[in-house]
Chain A
């Protein structure tokens, strides 16, 4: 009498082992192989523009003192090849805008730009220094105007800017001067609501 073989074909086991091996190799390469590429951050580069670059008019945000409203004020930057350099020029134009006359920039004196970055996701990152600002002179209203003005100067002139993030000396900080909560300025606008209080 012929004995019935209990051995099953071996190929499913080999296939399983092969799959495990391939998965192992892939996992190893993922965790220990070539480094993962982080999104590149474009940093502004010196010089911000060349001598021959044409002047171009942009609009920075300022406050009309008589009405208290935010208005556009013309400023000139150079049309350098790098958009990131143009953005940095726009921020510098805002920070160095006029603090005299009927239309003034709401920039606390002593505020400076350390560095500027632009990410592929459209986030403009302004690294500010406020160590020279007299904090005891800057209230919530002025702080809000300053942050809003910076955001709107960037988003108003550069369509690529989807978000604005503010750092203080390279660090995430809750506020610039103690009042306006910066966490939400990562999204350029914290609220989507109309004036009737409806979303």
Chain B
């Protein structure tokens, strides 16, 4: 009788904890853009491919601390064509894909992070590599939700800067306060949603470079992004 009772308790415990034991960690794909023979942007001694990898490694650590499994598209300074990147990212069974870029512009004025979401698919596409597929409005909204959760975790408002009329007269398509953009980015064309591009800094802005030269600043940024991803997945 006592053995039976112990067996019942054991079975009950198994029933309670089995889902937790069997629960696989959600996979997040990180793609540090450029690399190898493709340096990306270059401003003086600052090279984009190095910054992208640095942020990707900081993000890997932060996401693992949040309980995610991380798949890096590139771990080192290597050349990976866009189609191979897409293949690695899309076959990872990922819950979210984050593409890491740095940005730059001629005047050196613009600063701070940006998050970019691919618009829903329109007609008349012509691209070199077959794109991942049609991005439906629903899938677009999934990516937008991911972008918004990250933007919120970074402390930015939810203003979405999008292109909003049929003749191109949206004069404030890119404004100074929005950090979340709905724009066609080549790095997102071939990825399964939800996917976003994150640009932590402008290499053309010396204050951005100085700020993120400290490892702690990059780690803090990564921790905020990881929190945003966790919020998105309700992790």
Which residues does A use to contact B, with CB under 8 Å?
63, 65-72, 99, 104, 106, 108-109, 136-142, 144-145, 148, 151-152, 154-156, 161-162, 164, 172, 174-175, 178-181, 183-197, 199
Instruction: Specify which chain A residues have a CB less than 8 angstroms from the CB of B160 in the assembled complex.
Output: 195-197
**Contacts A136-B42, A141-B103, A164-B168 given; 18 further ones with Cβ under 8 A?**
A70-B171, A72-B171, A136-B40, A137-B106, A139-B199, A141-B110, A141-B114, A148-B174, A162-B167, A174-B127, A179-B186, A183-B126, A184-B122, A184-B124, A189-B166, A192-B166, A193-B164, A195-B162
Instruction: Specify which chain A residues have a CB less than 8 angstroms from the CB of B119 in the assembled complex.
Output: 184, 190-191, 193
Tell me if B126 and A152 are in contact (CB < 8 A): no
Nearest Cβ on chain B to A98's Cβ, whole angstroms: 12
Which residues does B use to contact A, with CB under 8 Å?
39-43, 101-107, 109-110, 114, 116, 119-120, 122-128, 137, 141, 144, 159-160, 162-176, 181-187, 189, 197, 199, 202-204
Nearest Cβ on chain A to B94's Cβ, whole angstroms: 21
* Given A65-B109, A139-B102, A191-B120: A179 touches B169 (CB 8 Å cut-off): no
Tell me if B102 and A156 are in contact (CB < 8 A): no
Instruction: Specify which chain A residues have a CB less than 8 angstroms from the CB of B164 in the assembled complex.
Output: 189, 191-195
Give CA–CA (A140, B197) in the complex, Å: 11
Tell me if B126 and A145 are in contact (CB < 8 A): no
Tell me if B169 and A142 are in contact (CB < 8 A): no
Tell me if B128 and A189 are in contact (CB < 8 A): no
Tell me if A183 and B104 are in contact (CB < 8 A): no
Give CA–CA (A164, B167) in the complex, Å: 9
* 11 pairs of residues in contact across A and B, judged by CB atoms under 8 Å: A139-B202, A141-B114, A142-B104, A144-B181, A148-B174, A156-B168, A185-B184, A188-B168, A190-B163, A195-B164, A197-B160
Give CA–CA (A88, B102) in the complex, Å: 34
Tell me if A68 and B176 are in contact (CB < 8 A): yes
Give CA–CA (A66, B109) in the complex, Å: 8
Interface centre among A69, A140, A155, A196 (most CB of B within 10 A): A140
Give CA–CA (A174, B130) in the complex, Å: 12
By beta carbon, the residue of chain A nearest B161 is A195
Tell me if A140 and B101 are in contact (CB < 8 A): yes
Tell me if B168 and A67 are in contact (CB < 8 A): no
Tell me if B169 and A155 are in contact (CB < 8 A): yes
Nearest Cβ on chain A to B12's Cβ, whole angstroms: 45
Tell me if B171 and A152 are in contact (CB < 8 A): yes
**Which residue of the partner chain, among B124, B171, B173, B199, contacts A140 with CB atoms under 8 Å?**
B199
Tell me if B103 and A139 are in contact (CB < 8 A): yes
Instruction: Specify which chain B residues have a CB less than 8 angstroms from the CB of A193 in the assembled complex.
Output: 119, 162, 164, 182
Instruction: Specify which chain A residues have a CB less than 8 angstroms from the CB of B104 in the assembled complex.
Output: 137-139, 141-142
Tell me if B144 and A148 are in contact (CB < 8 A): no
Give CA–CA (A196, B160) in the complex, Å: 8
Nearest Cβ on chain A to B164's Cβ, whole angstroms: 6
Give CA–CA (A141, B181) in the complex, Å: 10
Tell me if A108 and B187 are in contact (CB < 8 A): no
By beta carbon, the residue of chain A nearest B123 is A187
By beta carbon, the residue of chain B nearest A196 is B160
What 8 pairs across the A-B complex have the smallest Cβ distances? A68-B176, A181-B184, A139-B104, A188-B168, A139-B103, A142-B105, A136-B42, A155-B168
